[in-house]
């Protein structure tokens, strides 16, 4: 039986992280009398040997809290590490040091809670001899091997509320309102929130858009007496034959390209093509913050408790995933192949088109 486990949360913060930490820790302690160690700030803490015990009291009362009590980092990669105080240096492989820190305290299994970047690193650490189980975490819902990730439902709820609020001001001022949401190269948040909020146009990375068609749809609505329009755009959306809109490059990050600003570009283009007044709003990190939804709290608890079963059964090198409503063990090798994007024949796209939503193509 495994008697000491460690937990880390990597990548961007996400509603529901504390729910998973709580579920893993409480089940491990209650049912198997395990010792649980929390690693601070993701792989950064593993590299710098910053760890602390997680007893029952430490994880009580955290289910409803947003963020992560352990902290996180979306920069630290043990295989391509740049020290925080030396950003001009070349990346170094410090994985041996990170692995030694775990072995020194006798960790029997490392629980990695994160998105595709975190789990890709976890896969490599597993190949290098660390027993690992993974938990899929991202508001983007784009992890291969699972149909749903915790944090996504909360992000969609927040984005949908944003659309609802934009509706009232758009109607009052007869404007075109553009809401830019997160998602990186996947359009799951834009698609779900756009449908839930009654968006007139939804632009996602998987369907490159024609700006003339978008402007035409807005003008058609105006000519029919609809004196406002709502456009929901994913940050990774791009025009046909064009490129994504890059906000900045963060050289020492695991994902150096930071997307953002496509909403303002679309607003300028529509004003030029239609003469209608436009406003753009970027939801940004509002989608990541706050208390998790009821659904995400339940999902986090399900996934966290299942992970402990995987540890007991020796299912190392796997992530717990959900497919067809059932939990299953997904090889980290599969997860590491890249993000899960929206297929062209997804039923939600068909449903949205049936009610008149434009995708710019």
DSSP states of 235-298 as a string?
A: TT--BTT--PPEEEE-TTSSS-EEE--HHHHHHHHHHHHH---EEEEE-GGGGT-SPPPHHHHH
- Alpha-carbon distance of 255 to 252, in angstroms, equals 8
Q: What are the backbone angles phi and psi of residue 325, rounded to the nearest 5°?
A: 80, 5
140 is catalytic: yes
Query: CA nearest 157: which of 143, 144, 170, 139?
Result: 139
Task: Outline where the chain has alpha helix (H).
Answer: 17-32, 43-48, 95-104, 116-127, 152-173, 188-196, 211-223, 262-274, 294-312, 332-335, 347-354
| Contact partners, residue 33, CB within 8 Å, separation at least 6 | 3
* Structural contact between residues 127 and 98, judged by C-beta atoms closer than 8 angstroms: no
Give the active site residue among 140, 153, 200, 296: 140
Straight-line distance from the first to the last Cα atom of the chain, in angstroms, rounded to the nearest whole number: 56
Give catalytic residue positions.
140
């Amino acid at each position: 039986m495994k008697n000491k486990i460690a937990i880390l949360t990597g990548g961007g913060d996400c509603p529901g992280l504390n729910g998973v930490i709580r579920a893993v820790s409480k089940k491990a302690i209650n049912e198997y009398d395990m010792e649980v160690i929390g690693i601070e700030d993701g792989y950064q803490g593993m590299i710098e040997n910053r760890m602390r015990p997680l007893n029952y009291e430490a994880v009580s009362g955290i289910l409803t809290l947003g963020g992560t009590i352990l902290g996180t980092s979306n920069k630290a990669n043990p295989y391509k590490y740049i020290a925080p105080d030396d950003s001009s240096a070349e990346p170094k492989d410090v994985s041996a040091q990170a692995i030694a820190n775990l072995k020194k305290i006798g960790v029997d299994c490392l629980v990695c809670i994160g998105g595709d970047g975190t789990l890709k690193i976890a896969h490599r650490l597993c190949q290098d001899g660390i027993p690992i189980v993974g938990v899929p975490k991202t508001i983007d819902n784009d992890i291969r091997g699972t149909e749903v990730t915790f944090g996504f439902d909360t992000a969609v709820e927040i984005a949908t509320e944003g659309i609802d609020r934009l509706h009232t001001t758009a109607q009052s001022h007869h404007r075109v309102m553009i809401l830019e949401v997160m998602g990186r190269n996947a359009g799951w948040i834009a698609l779900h929130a756009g449908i839930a909020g009654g968006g007139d146009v939804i632009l996602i990375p998987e369907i490159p858009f024609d700006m003339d068609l978008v402007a035409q749809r807005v003008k058609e609505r105006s000519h029919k007496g609809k004196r406002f329009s709502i456009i929901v755009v994913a940050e990774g959306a791009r025009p046909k034959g064009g490129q994504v809109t890059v906000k900045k490059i963060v050289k020492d990050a695991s994902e150096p390209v930071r997307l953002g600003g496509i909403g303002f570009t679309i607003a300028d283009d529509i004003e030029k093509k239609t003469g209608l007044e436009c406003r753009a709003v970027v939801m940004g990190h509002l989608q990541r913050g706050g208390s998790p939804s009821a659904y995400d709290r339940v999902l986090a608890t399900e996934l966290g408790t299942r992970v402990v079963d995987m540890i007991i059964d020796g299912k190392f090198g796997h992530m717990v995933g959900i497919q067809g409503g059932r939990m299953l063990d997904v090889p980290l090798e599969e997860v590491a192949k890249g993000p899960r994007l929206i297929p062209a024949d997804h039923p939600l796209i068909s449903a949205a088109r049936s009610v008149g939503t434009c995708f710019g193509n």
